[in-house]
């Protein structure tokens, strides 16, 4: 499972004791979760007013960064197209998988200097992730336009003979060109109507050139026939063809236009291949940056909330628990029992939340201990 519970409890005689008691309660007797210490450095506390305000700001920032992370992950899957089963191996943080990064979390002193105030650190993260969000919008827009134009051209070269581009099907020698009187037209005939076409095409108008029809191409449903006639008979021929369920394609052979279409297709395809590699690299790098920022926000939230709840001097142990789906309810009960002395008013909230199936308290979850969820599954679909 990719869900983690990031919790904190006040230090007892030592923070190690807090850790040991939690370990005994959750693993040694019950084996309810896999646990790791979560190391948060000595950050600058600031004033109580600042911490209260920062608590709300960090909650909003947490949601924003998570939304950007999901967008980057989802766009990575979109860009990889047929290889989207490889998306997970591209979603790394600092070169390792997300679970490894979280369970071995170390504060990045270079990116987020702890001599800075908590507010400054949160602003650094906010600017950094906002930049990623803006860059993603610009890059996605450019790549999607290119991809869309290419798909439109590809659609023109596929589909039925009634609508598809004929550039790859017809050749110059299939047409009478530059004649003042004659014109070659293209007609789509259902396969079931081939015999009727051969019998009737010469009589659909008065001035059709005898034996001038050729089958140029066929798909599963129909065939593309050429036929040559006098220009003045064109309207009459078109009308009679429609009556007989033969569909004329409005097509004039123009070598320059056909060449331009093929060149445009090649250009777009080449451009897409050129942009693919750099775009995937950018997504990998910036997913990693955003994920690292997100986990640092979780650390900030734990720090701020722990100081607000447990008071000064700073003395708490942050812990990362990885439950299984089957053990979640039991783990909640055990943690509640272990920490209920911290805040007895939280017990009722927990009990009612656990008993109502489908109740989502994601924004209002409140326990006697500090608690935040980290879910590493950032894709909207299952691979």
Mean pLDDT across 25-54: 92
Instruction: Collect contacts of 212-216 with beta carbons under 8 A, ≥24 apart.
Output: 212/184, 214/174, 216/169, 216/170, 216/174, 216/186
DSSP string, 108-130: -TTTS-TTS-HHHHHHHHHHHHH
Residue 82: pLDDT band by 50, 70, 90 thresholds? confident
pLDDT exceeds cutoff 90 at 209:
yes
Taking alpha carbons only, the member of 229, 242, 224 closest to residue 188 is 224
The answer to whether the CB of 236 falls within 8 A of the CB of 198 is no
pLDDT tens digits for 213-246? Answer: 999 999 999 999 999 999 999 999 999 999 999 9
The tokens of 349 are what? Answer: 């909230």
**pLDDT at residue 381, rounded to an integer:** 55
Strand partners, 214: 226
**pLDDT at residue 157, rounded to an integer:** 77
User: What does the mean pLDDT of the chain come to?
Assistant: 91
Mean pLDDT across 291-309: 97
Residue 358: pLDDT band by 50, 70, 90 thresholds? very low
Of all residues in the chain, the percent with pLDDT exceeding 90 is 76
CA distance 378 to 339: 31
Taking alpha carbons only, the member of 233, 232, 224, 161 closest to residue 202 is 233
| Chain position carrying tokens 């989802």 | 74
Residue 362: pLDDT band by 50, 70, 90 thresholds? very low
The answer to whether the CB of 121 falls within 8 A of the CB of 57 is no
pTM over 0.85: no
**pLDDT at residue 347, rounded to an integer:** 55
**pLDDT at residue 1, rounded to an integer:** 59
The full 3-state SS of 21-66, as one line of letters, equals: HHHHHHHHCCCCEEEEECCCCCCCCCCHHHHHHHHHHHHHHHHHHH
**pLDDT at residue 359, rounded to an integer:** 40
CA distance 8 to 4: 13
**pLDDT at residue 348, rounded to an integer:** 47
Strand partners, 6: 320, 372
**pLDDT at residue 383, rounded to an integer:** 42
Of all residues in the chain, the percent with pLDDT exceeding 70 is 93
Peptide bond into 313 cis (omega under 30): yes
């Amino acid at each position: 499972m990719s869900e983690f519970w990031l919790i904190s409890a006040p230090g007892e005689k030592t923070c190690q004791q807090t850790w040991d008691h939690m370990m005994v309660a959750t693993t040694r007797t019950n084996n309810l979760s896999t646990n790791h210490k979560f190391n948060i450095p000595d950050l600058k506390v600031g004033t109580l007013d600042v911490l209260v305000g920062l608590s709300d700001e960090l909650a909003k920032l947490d949601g924003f960064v998570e939304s950007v992370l999901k967008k980057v992950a989802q766009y990575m899957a979109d860009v990889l197209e047929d290889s989207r089963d490889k998306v997970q191996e591209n979603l790394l943080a600092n070169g390792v998988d997300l679970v490894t990064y979280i369970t071995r979390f170390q504060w990045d002193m270079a990116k987020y200097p702890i001599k800075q105030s908590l507010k400054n650190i949160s602003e650094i993260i906010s600017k950094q992730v906002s930049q990623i969000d803006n860059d993603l919008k610009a890059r996605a827009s450019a790549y999607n336009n290119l991809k869309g134009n290419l798909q439109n051209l590809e659609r023109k070269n596929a589909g039925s003979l009634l609508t598809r581009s004929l550039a790859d099907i017809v050749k110059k020698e299939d047409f009478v060109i530059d004649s003042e009187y004659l014109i070659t037209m293209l007609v789509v005939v259902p396969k079931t109507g081939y015999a009727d076409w051969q019998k009737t095409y010469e009589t659909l108008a008065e001035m059709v050139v005898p034996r001038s029809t050729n089958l140029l191409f066929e798909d599963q449903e129909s065939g593309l026939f050429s036929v040559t006639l006098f220009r003045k008979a064109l309207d009459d021929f078109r009308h009679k063809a429609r009556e007989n369920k033969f569909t004329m394609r409005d097509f004039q052979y123009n070598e320059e236009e056909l060449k331009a279409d093929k060149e445009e297709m090649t250009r777009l395809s080449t451009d897409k291949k050129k942009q693919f590699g750099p775009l995937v690299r950018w997504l990998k790098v910036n997913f990693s940056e955003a994920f690292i920022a997100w986990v640092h926000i979780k650390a900030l939230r734990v720090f701020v909330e722990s100081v607000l709840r447990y008071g000064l001097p700073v003395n708490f142990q942050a812990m990362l628990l990885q439950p299984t789906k089957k053990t979640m309810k039991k783990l909640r009960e055990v943690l509640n029992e272990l920490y209920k002395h911290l805040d007895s008013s939280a017990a009722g909230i927990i009990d009612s939340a656990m008993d109502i199936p489908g109740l989502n308290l994601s924004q209002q979850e409140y326990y006697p201990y500090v608690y935040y969820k980290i879910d590493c599954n950032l894709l909207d679909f299952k691979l």
